[in-house]
Amino acid sequence: MAIKAQPLSNDIAQSGSNQSSMLVAAMAQLENAFEWLELEEGVREIIRQSERELTVSIPIQRDDGRINVFTGYRVQHSSARGPCKGGIRYHVNVDLDEVRALALLMSLKSAVARLPFGGAKGGIAVDPTSLSAAELERLTRRYAAMIRPILGAKRDIPAPDVNTNPQTMAWLMDTLAMFQGHNLPEITTGKPLSLGGSHGRTEATGRGVAIATIEILKRLGRNPKGTEIAIQGFGNVGSHAASILSEEFQCKIVAISDESGGIYSQSGLDVTKIVQQFKAHPGLLLSDYQIDGFDRISNDELLVLDVDVLIPAAMEDQITVRNADQIVAQIIVEGANGPTTLEADRILRERSVHVVPDVLANAGGVICSYFEWVQDRQMYFWDLEEVRSKLLMAMQKAFEEVWAMADENKLDMRTAAYSLAVQRVAEAIQQRGLFP
């Protein structure tokens, strides 16, 4: 397939205004990649659609005896390159369009990292903080039972995402194993170690974000030591990226934030100490964190700080037309999925800001999920060092391929990553042909 240089079409950029902005952005970038690749229309049409979408109404009994019904989804975007793979998110804003967009991103991410997976995503529209642990367990088990017909170790393998964790995956796996009548570790990834989880999986996305940050700094001739970084989101991805960048690469993390706001210190935050506090007090928010030596800032202020690198690692749609032209950082590494809206992406490109896109920057999670799946299928487990060194190699290889594609064709990294990924997905579709 020939690659041809073309600017992003305005029609594409302005289309689809009734869809979620993440879906609009993902679809526009997809169309852009189609044009670059001069892809045949039939294959474009296949990639534009999800292969399969399931919506379920999940009734659960609350602790006080009431019954509530929550809406859940599982969307499989593509299985052309292998079993569908993607996380499960619990958040009030979850809807079908968001899950569609995230499933598409997963197909592209698997392809960028050359994993033998397609893409999927799931979610429940719920505020998990409003449920007790017992209610969350009932919700997870009922949801697992309802989406079970389309799951499978060779069909569709879930993992954690926003507000879900190894415990969620343990309940999900156990529910599916009860139906099956035997243990089924390979049906999900991101499990606790005691249930066939992989060493290094919990930190993997943050570690991948850290590796991507170091790789872009190296390519731009910058020394990671002392590089000033602001990180939005201090959950799984943000907190691990912060620890690894400060402890292993001596970067200076000057600001972090969560949903309650942020903290800033010009001389650098003691990330190790903060992470220890958060581990010791699950549910702690930065607004509750009571230690001197930093200023309180808002999430809006964090995004426009005068830093070298900005890592959005919270939620989608954080970098928008409202703030894109005020962002000072010359490097943005997208830890979150879809943190940059389409219009903001255009502004950043015009301002020559280097954006390491989500489908590359946060691929460490799915890479390590792949390692977990391989270990479960072989019933042979690797130690932490082996996982880390394989993750490093896989991330560096993916980064190098995207960088080379961008460099050779004078592309921004997002267009390069999308084009590489779409090319790989399209090739699988074309080589399979159509059934029947």
The residues that touch ligand NAD, with contacts defined as CB under 6 A, are 160-163, 205, 232-238, 257-259, 299, 313-315, 335-337, 362, 365
Residue 3's closest CA among 338, 343, 397, 426? 426
Nearest of 166, 162, 167, 160 to residue 133 by alpha carbon: 167
> From edge to edge, which strands make up the β-sheet containing 119-125?
52-61, 67-78, 119-125, 84-91, 156-160
Closest separation in Å from C-beta 8 to ligand NAD:
23
Distance CA 200, CA 397 (A): 19
Which two three-digit tokens encode residue 308?
């070298």
CA-based nearest residue to 157, from 198, 200, 206, 203: 198
State whether the Cα torsion 325-363-420-10 is positive or negative.
negative
Choice between 174 and 258, CB closer to ligand NAD:
258
117 in helix, strand or coil? Answer: coil
CB of 75 to ligand NAD, least distance (A): 14
- Residue closer to ligand NAD, measured from CB, 12 or 115: 115
Spatial contact of 198 and 366, defined as CB atoms under 8 Å apart: no
> Of 317 and 401, which CB lies nearer to ligand NAD in the complex structure?
317
Nearer to ligand NAD (CB atom), residue 282 or residue 433: 282
Q: How far apart are CA 172 and CA 235, in angstroms?
A: 21
Residue 138 C-beta: closest distance to ligand NAD, Å? 20
What's the Cα-to-Cα distance from 288 to each of 13, 258, 278, rounded to whole Å? Answer: 41, 11, 10
- Taking residue 378's Cβ as centre, other Cβ atoms within 10 Å add up to 10
Cβ proximity to ligand NAD: between 140 and 236 the closer is 236
* b/e per residue 148-165 (b: at least 16 CB within 10 A): bebbbbeebbbbbbbbbe
Q: DSSP letters of 253-313? A: EEEEEETTEEEE-TT---HHHHHHHHHHSTT--GGG---SSSEEE-HHHHHT-S-SEEEE-
Please answer whether residues 115 and 367 qualify as being in contact, where contact means their C-beta atoms are separated by less than 8 angstroms: yes
Supply the minimum distance, in Å, between the C-beta of residue 190 and ligand NAD: 7
Residue number with CB closer to ligand NAD (36 or 91): 91
The candidate with the shortest Cα–Cα distance to 123, out of 151, 152, 159, 150, is 159
Catalytic position from the list 4, 85, 109, 121: 121
Nearest approach in angstroms of CB 37 to ligand NAD is 25
C-alpha–C-alpha distance, residues 73 and 345, integer Å: 28
Is 360 within 8 Å of 112 (Cβ atoms)? yes
The question of whether 390 is a catalytic residue gets the answer: no
In the complex, minimum distance from the CB of residue 425 to ligand NAD, in angstroms, rounded to a whole number? 19
Nearer to ligand NAD, 187 or 230 (CB): 230
Nearest residue to ligand NAD, scored by beta-carbon proximity: 235
Sign of CA dihedral 377, 153, 205, 139: negative
**Least gap, CB of 5 to ligand NAD (angstroms):** 30
For residue 162, the minimal CB distance to ligand NAD (Å) is: 4
Nearer to ligand NAD, 12 or 105 (CB): 105
Supply the residues annotated as catalytic.
Answer: 121
